[in-house]
Amino acid sequence: MVCINKIRIGIAGYGNLGRGTELAVIQNPDCELTCVFTRRNPSGLKILTENVPVYSLSDASLHIDKADVLILCGGSRRDLPEQGPALAKHFNTVDSFDTHAKIPGYFDAVDEAARTGGKVSIISAGWDPGMFSIMRAYGEAFLPSGKTYTFWGKGVSQGHSDAIRRIEGVLDAKQYTVPVEAAVNAVRSGSDPELSVREKHIRECFVAAKPGADKAAIENDIKTMPDYFAGYDTVVHFISMEELERDHAGIPHGGFVIRSGRTGVDLSSQHISEYSIKLDSNPEFTSSVLVAYARAAYRLSGEGLSGAKTVLDIPPAYLSPKSGGELRKELL
C-alpha cells in the first residue's frame, strides 16, 4: 500500500471564482481544501466545506504552513495586481489574471516575488488567457504558415455588464458577446478573411432601467462608450428586472480558437484546427482549470523550482493525477 498526502489547497477570495474553486477541489480526490482567506470579516463568512478555517487575508503570512498551493480568486483589476506578488512570496500560487495587455508586467512582479520566496506561481490560467493561449501556441507551432482567429461567446462579459451598470438610470444589466456566424463560417471554410473587430462580434445588452429613466439616453451612452462598445455593433434590449433575473441569471460563456494553415509544395495543402468550448458557468470552469494547475504548481515546487510560470510552460502531464505510465497506456 502506498500512502500519498493530498495536495492542500487554500483559496484567497471567496466570490464566484472562490466558490467554484471550492466545488472543483471536491471533484479532485488528490486535493483537499485546507483554508480560505477573505477580505471580509472571517467570522461572518459561511463556506460550503465543513471544518475548514477562514482567515483574514491580511493575516495570510501567519498561515503559510496551511496550504501547499493558494488559488487566488480575486479580480484582475483591483485585487491581483497587489495580492499576486504579495502572496507569491509566501505561497505557491495559481491565478487567472486576465488583463491581457498587463500580463508581461504582472508576470515580472510575481516572478520576482516567487523567486524571493522560493515558491512557484502559475499566472493567467483559465480559458482565455489559459487554454485558448495554449491552442494559439500549438496552432502556430504546427502550422507556421497560417492565421489564428479567436472568437468569444456566446457568453456574458462581466466587465461590459459592469460598465453598463455604472450608467445613470440603469438598475441592472447583462451583456452578451456574440460571435458573428458569417465571420466564423468564413474562417472555418479556410478563406483566411481579414476581419475587423466589428465584423467578428456583436454586443447584445439586456438592461433593466430605473423607473422614469431616459432609455434613449441610456442606449446612446452604451453604444458610444469608448473601448467597451464604440467599435462594435451593439444591440440594446430594455427588459424588466423580473425578466433579467428570470432569463439572464447564469454566467455562461464559450468561444473558439481556429488555426488555418498551409503545408506542402506551393503550400497547396490546407489544414484547419479548431478548439471550442461551451460553458454553462464561466467561473466554475475557470476554477476547475485553476485546480488542475494547482496540481502542476505543487509538483514543480516539489522538484525545487521557483518563479512565475504561465500555462505555456506547463507540460500537459503535470495537470493529471495519473502517472506517466498510466497516461501513456490510457491517453496516448
Ramachandran angles phi, psi of 135, nearest 5°: -65, -35
Binding mask 138-157 for its own copies (x = CB under 8 A): x-xxxxxx------------
Residue 323 within binding range of its own copies, rule CB under 8 A: no
Stretch that binds its own copies, among 67-75, 96-104, 162-170, 201-209 (CB under 8 A): 96-104
Residue 77 within binding range of its own copies, rule CB under 8 A: no
CB of 302 to its own copies, least distance (A): 16
CB of 183 to its own copies, least distance (A): 18
Residue 27 within binding range of its own copies, rule CB under 8 A: yes
Residue 55 within binding range of its own copies, rule CB under 8 A: no
- Nearer residue to its own copies within complex by CB, 229 or 285: 285
- Nearer residue to its own copies within complex by CB, 64 or 272: 272
Residue 302 within binding range of its own copies, rule CB under 8 A: no
Listed in sequence order, the residues at least 6 apart from 267 whose beta carbon sits closer than 8 Å to its beta carbon are 145
For the purposes of burial, counting CB atoms within 10 Å of the CB of 177, is it exposed (0-12), middle (13-18) or buried (19 or more)? buried
Question: Of the candidates 13, 18, 20, 155, which one interacts with its own copies according to CB under 8 A?
Answer: 20
CB of 173 to its own copies, least distance (A): 23
Cβ neighbours, 10 Å, residue 321: 13
Strand 146-152 relative to strand 253-263, pairing: antiparallel
- Nearer residue to its own copies within complex by CB, 63 or 309: 309
Helix ranges (H only) for 59-209 are 80-88, 103-117, 131-142, 158-165, 181-188, 197-200
CB of 10 to its own copies, least distance (A): 20
Question: Of the candidates 122, 134, 205, 207, which one interacts with its own copies according to CB under 8 A?
Answer: 134
Residue 131 within binding range of its own copies, rule CB under 8 A: yes
| Coil/strand/helix, residue 180 | coil
Question: Of the candidates 64, 154, 263, 305, which one interacts with its own copies according to CB under 8 A?
Answer: 263
Residue 185 within binding range of its own copies, rule CB under 8 A: no
Residue 274 within binding range of its own copies, rule CB under 8 A: yes
- Nearer residue to its own copies within complex by CB, 24 or 170: 24
Listed in sequence order, the residues at least 6 apart from 145 whose beta carbon sits closer than 8 Å to its beta carbon are 261, 262, 263, 267
Q: How many residues bind its own copies (CB under 8 A)?
A: 64
Q: Closest Cα to residue 37, out of 16, 60, 64, 9?
A: 60
Encode 192-215 in three state secondary structure. CCCCCHHHHEEEEEEEEECCCCCH
Question: Cell for 156?
Answer: 456574458
| Coil/strand/helix, residue 328 | helix
Residue 314 within binding range of its own copies, rule CB under 8 A: yes
- In angstroms, the CA 100 to CA 119 distance is 24
Residue type at 217 in one-letter notation: A
Which residues form the interface with its own copies (CB under 8 A)? 20, 23-24, 27-28, 100, 103-104, 107, 124, 129, 131, 133-138, 140-145, 263-265, 268-281, 284-285, 288-289, 292, 295, 310-317, 319-320, 324-325, 327-329, 331-332
